Amino acid sequence: MPFCPKCKYEFVDGIKKCNECGCDLVDNLDDITNESDEEIMDNENIINAELENANWGETYESLEDGNVSVDKEDEESRFMSSAKTYQKLSDKYEDVKSSAYTLILVGGVGLFVMILQWINVIKFPISSQTKWLFNSVLGGMFIIFLAAGIVSFMHAKKVKIEADIEDKLINKINQFAKENITKEIIDKEVPQDDHVEILFFNRAEVIKNILMHEFEDADEALIDELIENIYQSIYEE
């Protein structure tokens, strides 16, 4: 039995055209459906490809014309996020010291409460059968807190000594940059016709090379940490 591919009507044998739309009849609608689906997918792929090419074309033309707008703050933050994550020893000292005080406080107060409970100054609603287990578990836990706090406090003292040395180095680096690194020195090494993004990275790289050459023993991650402030002090005055 023939079918209309557009109206999907079924006709008796012998009829060649649909009397509703005038389309030529076919013997099987499945073939028409599969072909239509393939044509739709092909058309979608073509459209997507054309849109993608158009977008890339516009981007390329914008780059060629120098019309790409780049937010300076975004580029700086992107640069710093790509740099190594570095925690200053002074910040580490504060973290370790804070942890030590917290552990000592919790452990000390906890042991004091346990002693008061042991001599019946404070009474908890627990049975005498489980009292020993309660005191053993909590007492042991508070002793561990207290011991960990003391160890952390001793470690904090060592970190403090190292932090003081690092702070002196940071001050020395910043002072050197302030006195010896200028716009003229940096821009002499960097092509000025580059886009803002590339210009920023190139300038930061020049600053880094100067500092790494002057302070060979300094941690590269520390230099990366300081570059942002140095860059801002030079170009945002």
DSSP string, 117-156: HHTTSS--S--HHHHHHHHHHHHHHHHHHHHHHHHHHHHH
Q: Are residues 76 and 59 in the same domain?
A: no
Same structural domain, 8 and 120: no
Structure tokens at 235: 């170009």
Total domains in the fold of the chain? 2
pLDDT at residue 68, as a whole number? 39
Q: Grade residue 103 by pLDDT with cuts at 50, 70 and 90.
A: very high
Query: Do 101 and 117 belong together in one domain?
Result: yes
Predicted confidence (pLDDT) at residue 72 exceeds the cutoff of 60: no
Beta-carbon contacts of 225 under 8 Å, excluding residues fewer than 6 positions away, are 83, 86, 88
- For 8, the domain range is 1-68
pLDDT exceeds cutoff 60 at 6: yes
pLDDT in tens, 136-187: 888 899 999 999 999 999 999 999 999 999 999 999 999 998 888 888 888 8
Task: Mark which of 35, 68, 101 sits at the end of a domain.
Answer: 68
Greatest Cα pair distance, the chain, in angstroms, is: 109
**DSSP letter string, 187-237:** HHTS-TTS-HHHHHHHHHHHHHHHHHHH-TTS-HHHHHHHHHHHHHHHH--
- Please tell me whether residues 35 and 106 are part of one structural domain: no
pLDDT at 85 (0 to 100): 73
Burial of 55 (0-12, 13-18, 19+ CB in 10 A): exposed
- Chain-centroid distance of CA 133 in Å reads 46
Residue 123's pLDDT band (boundaries 50, 70, 90)? confident
The predicted pLDDT at position 232 comes to 86
More confident residue, 93 or 53: 93
HSE, side-chain direction, 13 A CA sphere, residue 203: 26
Lowest mean pLDDT across 42-51, 70-79, 190-199, 208-217: 70-79
The more confidently predicted of residues 151 and 79 is 151
Distance of CA 42 to the CA centre of its chain: 39
Q: For residue 84, what is the DSSP state?
A: P
Question: What would the two tokens of residue 86 be?
Answer: 């570095």
**Position with higher pLDDT, 220 vs 194:** 220
> Is the domain of 97 the same as that of 138?
yes
What phi and psi, each to the nearest 5 degrees, are found at residue 26? -125, 160
Pairwise CA distance, residues 80 & 95, whole Å: 23
Among 68, 101, 125, the domain boundary falls at 68
58 and 88 share a domain? no
Query: Which residue in this structure is represented by tokens 């239509």?
Result: 36
For 23-70, what is each residue's pLDDT tens digit?
776 777 665 555 555 555 665 666 566 555 544 444 434 434 444 344
